[in-house]
Amino acid sequence: MRFLSKLRLSLAALLLILGILVTHAKESKYELDRKLIYQEIHTQLEKGNITLEEAQKMWLKKIKQLKKEEAK
């Protein structure tokens, strides 16, 4: 009986740790995607392919899409 109790506590701790790791990994992926979008838009802006207003519109549009993907 005591063995099963310890086993349950160990499994609960393991699940808690795994949950924290998965949540952290998801947040990191979101941040990396945001940085990638920023770099793409910044590069186009520096080359003169787009104006500042167009860059702002692109940023808002792509971040909105990214948030929708994260919600799924």
Residue 70 to residue 72: CA distance in whole angstroms: 5
Using CA atoms, how far residue 18 sits from 13, 43, 51, in Å, is: 9, 38, 45
Residue 26's pLDDT is what?
Answer: 67
Read off φ and ψ for residue 36, nearest 5 degrees.
-65, -45
Residue 62's pLDDT is what?
Answer: 95
Residue 27's pLDDT is what?
Answer: 67
Which residue stretches of the chain have pLDDT < 50?
A: none
